[in-house]
Amino acid sequence: DAKTTQPPSMDCAEGRAANLPCNHSTISGNEYVYWYRQIHSQGPQYIIHGLKNNETNEMASLIITEDRKSSTLILPHATLRDTAVYYCIVPLYNTDKLIFGTGTRLQVFP
Amino acid sequence: SAVISQKPSRDICQRGTSLTIQCQVDSQVTMMFWYRQQPGQSLTLIATANQGSEATYESGFVIDKFPISRPNLTFSTLTVSNMSPEDSSIYLCSVEVAGTYEQYFGPGTRLTVT
């Protein structure tokens, strides 16, 4: 089971890009990387996922290194509403289970 | 995506009593899950709610304490039985988009046991 490691907290100025790193050095070739976030007092929200190629959607971009041992979630223009805990998750292979770690608490400041 | 509602949104209960939390989805889904989030902590998966069969519980969670029903593809309940203050948490249900790990979460039920 691939485990993930994230910094406990980060700060980002409003309007700047927020780059959130995640290490998943034990990931196997067919395991995806998923990102969720949890804004205070709300349920988690799906952001994006990827296997090996970089991915982009309306919320964020996901950059996965060539060896797949780490990834970076990019919020291109962070706003105050992006203040949340961000979770990098590698789901248990061949199951439907999401195991949430401690995540990165992103604080966007004015 | 799916829209998920939970009832109640919050409750304060006395120890020794039980509370049933409802989760309603606006579309038919295959996979439904129940999570617990203790104060200041991350989410912990309690169980997978299976339609037409017994729920599948994670290590540390048992059916007698957290009985789950899933009568159809849009509805599930979680009961927290014989509550103690340690059960004070936010309880969340989620559903999964078929064939992916994209899960959509309800707003949660904030339970306080006194």
pLDDT digits (tens, 9 = 90+) for B37-87: 999 999 999 999 988 889 999 999 999 999 999 999 999 999 999 999 999
In this complex, do B106 and A32 lie within 8 Å of one another by their Cβ atoms?
no
Helix (H) or strand (E) run with residue A106 in it: strand A104-109
Q: Which of B2, B76, B62 is nearest to B32 (CA)?
A: B76
Strand blocks (E) in chain B = 4-7, 10-13, 19-25, 31-37, 43-49, 56-57, 68-72, 75-80, 89-96, 103-105, 109-113
pLDDT digits (tens, 9 = 90+) for B2-26: 899 999 999 999 999 999 999 999 9
Residue B82 falls in which region: left (phi positive, over 0), alpha (psi -120 to 50) or beta = left
CB contacts, 8 Å: B105 with chain A: 43-45
Task: Please determine, for residue A2, whether its predicted confidence score (pLDDT) is greater than 70.
Answer: no
Mutant choice from A100, A102, A104 vs B, greatest count of B C-beta within 10 A: A100
For the record, the structure tokens of B110 come out as: 């904030």
CB contacts, 8 Å: A49 with chain B: 100-102
Whole-number Å distance between alpha carbons of B105 and A52: 26
Option in A38, A85, A98 nearest B103 (CB): A98
In this complex, do A100 and B42 lie within 8 Å of one another by their Cβ atoms?
yes
